[in-house]
């Protein structure tokens, strides 16, 4: 049951992100007020990715004597799942969007960008690739910590570190306002860079960590968390906090930094209560299916828009173009499905043996 719910959330989120990016490039004079919402929706991917990776590591490490070998295989499988899609999208994007032109330049930075090295800040939507790789690199360590400590203590520690980062960030911002900030500190803590997401240093890993804590939390406290009202309240809090953190000075100077911990808590609670409840959700089948293939949809949707624009189907600020884009979306999705299957066949991925025992925590959450 939890898989359908998490797939639904991912599918609904990527659909909203797709529409937000269309608006940003082709309809921005009509719906400019929603700018920044897409970045908040991407936060859901970090939490739900942490959730899924907990199960992946639990299956791999349960009963295995060679932890190092299993972790190396985990990294290899993640690389195979990430890089081919990324390289394909990254190669074609500069042909349509000038801001991606650096991806066709011969330089060390370009090579580092194609490798999605943790310290690189790639152009446009590809920032997500670097950010999620940082999470995958930390995943085995986070899992090993989680199986040793109580999940509630783990979550408290993550929120403590988030708030410490907030204090350091605000301190650096105040120094910068006074003309005293040290440039490296300002780059790391106060501005979006290779290690900064949602105005916070490594907050992508904080969100991912909270997602990894969801399965043990549900297993231990599931009876207390199964409340539809909690889920809908967390959705409302998420929407409000996402709106008020769209830019760093939405309400008052630095308001985005002060309110981002609220957004982090809302995202975590939304995913936690969605898994524990799970709630009744509209158009469940459609979004759940899309949620299984969000990565290629995310990477290729901008190319899809560009091809429609090149064909004269998409024109700026046109409702007819918007409608035609929606009608043709199944073409994009079909392409992503085919590409996903080809990549899996090419990588030689096979389903887990039917007789392989599953850890108790997986059995408890798979009902």
Least confidently predicted of 2-6, 49-53, 69-73, 197-201: 197-201
Q: How many CA atoms lie within 13 A of 91 on its CB side?
A: 5
Q: Residue 168: helix, strand or coil by DSSP?
A: helix
Of residues 266 and 185, more confidence is placed in 266
Q: What angle do CA 289, 295, 297 make, to 5 degrees?
A: 70
Quick one: CA dihedral 148, 152, 158, 161, positive or negative? negative
- Sorted by sequence, the CB contacts under 8 Å of residue 111 that are 6+ apart come out as none
Q: What is the pLDDT of residues 55-86, one digit of tens each?
A: 999 988 876 667 888 899 899 999 988 999 99
Longest dimension (CA), the chain: 64
Question: By the 8 A CB rule, do 50 and 208 touch?
Answer: yes
Distances (CA, A) of 213 to 143, 150, 157, 192, 307: 9, 9, 11, 26, 41
- Whether pLDDT at 36 is above 90: no
Of residues 311 and 23, more confidence is placed in 311
DSSP state of 230: H
Nearest to 272 by CA among 316, 228, 229, 225: 225
Of residues 299 and 188, more confidence is placed in 299
Write down the pLDDT at residue 366: 46
Beta strands per DSSP E along the chain: 196-197, 200-201
- The predicted model gives 233-247 an average pLDDT of 89
- Whether pLDDT at 119 is above 70: yes
Of residues 325 and 167, more confidence is placed in 325
Q: Residue 350: helix, strand or coil by DSSP?
A: coil
DSSP state of 149: S
Q: 2-26 and 319-347 are packed helices; what angle lies between their axes, rounded to 10 degrees?
A: 130
Write down the pLDDT at residue 1: 47
Q: What is the pLDDT of residues 246-280, one digit of tens each?
A: 877 778 877 888 888 899 999 999 999 999 988 88
- Whether pLDDT at 47 is above 80: yes
The pTM of the whole model exceeds 0.85: yes
């Amino acid at each position: 049951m939890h898989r359908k719910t998490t797939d639904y959330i991912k599918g609904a989120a990527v659909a909203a992100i797709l529409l937000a990016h269309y608006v940003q490039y082709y309809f921005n004079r009509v719906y400019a007020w929603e700018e920044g919402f897409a970045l908040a929706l991407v936060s859901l991917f970090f939490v739900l990715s942490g959730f899924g990776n907990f199960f992946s590591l639990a299956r791999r490490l349960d009963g295995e004597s060679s932890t190092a070998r299993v972790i190396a295989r985990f990294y290899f499988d993640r690389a195979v799942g990430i890089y081919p899609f990324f390289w394909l999208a990254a190669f074609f994007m500069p042909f349509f969007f000038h801001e991606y032109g650096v991806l066709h330049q011969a330089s060390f930075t370009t090579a580092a960008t194609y490798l999605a090295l943790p310290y690189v800040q790639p152009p446009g939507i590809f920032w997500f690739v670097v950010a999620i790789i940082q999470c995958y690199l930390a995943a085995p360590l986070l899992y090993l910590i989680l199986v040793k400590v109580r999940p509630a203590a783990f979550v408290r520690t993550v929120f403590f570190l988030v708030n410490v980062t907030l204090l350091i960030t605000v301190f650096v911002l105040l120094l910068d306002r006074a003309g005293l900030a040290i440039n490296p500190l300002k780059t790391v803590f106060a501005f979006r860079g290779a290690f900064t997401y949602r105005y916070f240093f490594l907050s992508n890993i904080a969100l991912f960590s909270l997602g990894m804590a969801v399965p043990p939390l549900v297993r231990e406290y599931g009876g207390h968390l199964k409340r539809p009202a909690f889920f809908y309240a967390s959705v409302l809090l998420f929407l409000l906090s996402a709106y008020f953190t769209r830019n760093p000075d939405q309400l008052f100077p630095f308001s985005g930094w002060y309110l981002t911990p609220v957004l982090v808590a809302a995202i975590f609670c939304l995913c936690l209560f969605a898994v524990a409840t799970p709630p009744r959700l509209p158009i469940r089948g459609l979004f759940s299916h899309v949620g299984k293939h969000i990565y290629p949809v995310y990477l290729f949707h901008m190319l899809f828009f560009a091809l429609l624009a090149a064909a004269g189907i998409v024109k700026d600020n046109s409702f007819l173009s918007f409608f035609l884009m929606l009608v043709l979306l199944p073409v994009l999705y079909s392409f992503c499905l085919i590409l996903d299957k080809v990549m899996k066949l090419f990588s030689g991925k096979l389903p887990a043996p039917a007789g392989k025992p599953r850890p108790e925590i997986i059995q408890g959450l798979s009902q």
